[in-house]
Amino acid sequence: MADSFADRFARTRSIFGPLVWGLDPSGAVLRSWGLDDSPDGLDRFVEVVLEAAVGVVGLVKPQSAFYERHGWRGIRTLGRLVADARQAGLLVVLDAKRGDVGSTNEAYAEAFLGADAAIQVDALTVHPYLGFGAMNVFVERATQAGSCLLVVTRSSNPEGRRVQAARDETGRSVEATLLEEIGRRNAELAPGAIGPIGAVIGPTHMHPELDLASANALCLAPGVGAQGATPSDVAQVFHVCRDRVMPSASRLLLEAGPEVTKLRSEIEALAAVFKDQLGD
């Protein structure tokens, strides 16, 4: 079995801190950088962010949609970004939010997880709303590859609350049930350790509190900056598992582009804040 993502994250965190840089080249971002909203502009964006990231941050999180919208050239650029980032020692979390059933999930898993994947990433976001059991093929492949699945549990967008906070006949919420299932599977797959299944928990919603401690899971915390979450919010929500949270910021940092020096300075400043807030 491959070295686990949790172990790689711990090593990376000890050097750079837990910050995840979201690489989301929307049309607005490309234009604000003086780039064309085109495959050529996307290629230049990737060149800049790779130069800015290496040596100052340990994890990057490209949102697949912003690359896919440029067609086959955008997907090719995403593949190059992922390969070059990993070659440079960065951990890559692909925010693709895949999730289906049966052979479709198997195809998604083959696309992104494992040494034979077309675009091999370290972690992948997935949706659980076709059933937790439907993700078994993701879980199996991630476990063998030493990758991490990040299950959307409590998203940062307000529209998600109606579904995620809905309660079943026992009074348990969807998000609490998901987190409990994540903990149960992690205990089976990695007894006494952090398991290969993580959770996406938006720190913009603090109440009710979730039982984050018992899931033995890493947590991706999106929404820092443009979506309203602060480093203090992250520290408050994840106070019981500060060493297991991966706070993510995208637009907040991309606003500093396209100057590499300015980008690196902003990344270092935010990383230092998270090291302080999360106890390092």
Q: Secondary structure of 225-246 in the HEC alphabet?
A: CCCCECHHHHHHHCCCCHHHEE
148, 198 Cβ separation under 8 angstroms: yes
pLDDT in the model for residue 1: 52
Class of domain 5-277: alpha beta
Torsion of CA 28, 33, 35, 37, to 10 degrees: -10
For helices 136-145 and 102-112, give the axis angle rounded to 10 degrees: 20
> What does the pLDDT average to over 240-251?
95
Give the span between the Cα atoms of 115 and 94, in whole angstroms. 15
Question: Could you read off the pLDDT of 135-144 as tens digits, one per residue?
Answer: 999 999 999 9
| Spatial CA neighbour of 224 closest among 211, 243, 238, 213 | 238
CA dihedral over 74, 77, 79, 82, signed as positive or negative: negative
Question: Could you read off the pLDDT of 53-90 as tens digits, one per residue?
Answer: 999 999 999 999 999 999 999 999 999 999 999 999 99
pLDDT at 228 > cutoff 80? no
pLDDT in the model for residue 84: 98
pLDDT in the model for residue 207: 77
Give the span between the Cα atoms of 5 and 28, in whole angstroms. 33
Residue 141, CA atoms < 13 Å, CB-side half-sphere: 23
Pure H helices in the chain: 5-16, 27-32, 39-53, 65-68, 71-87, 102-112, 136-145, 161-164, 174-189, 231-237, 251-254, 260-277
Give the span between the Cα atoms of 97 and 222, in whole angstroms. 13
Of the candidate ranges 53-67, 210-224, 260-274, the one whose mean pLDDT is the lowest: 210-224
What is the CB neighbour count within 10 angstroms for residue 39? 16
pLDDT in the model for residue 169: 85
pLDDT at 2 > cutoff 70? no
The catalytic residue positions are 97
Question: Could you read off the pLDDT of 186-209 as tens digits, one per residue?
Answer: 999 999 899 999 999 988 877 788
Q: Report the mean per-residue pLDDT for the chain.
A: 93
Question: Could you read off the pLDDT of 155-186 as tens digits, one per residue?
Answer: 887 788 888 878 988 888 889 999 999 999 99
Which tokens hold the place of 114?
């494992």
pLDDT in the model for residue 216: 92
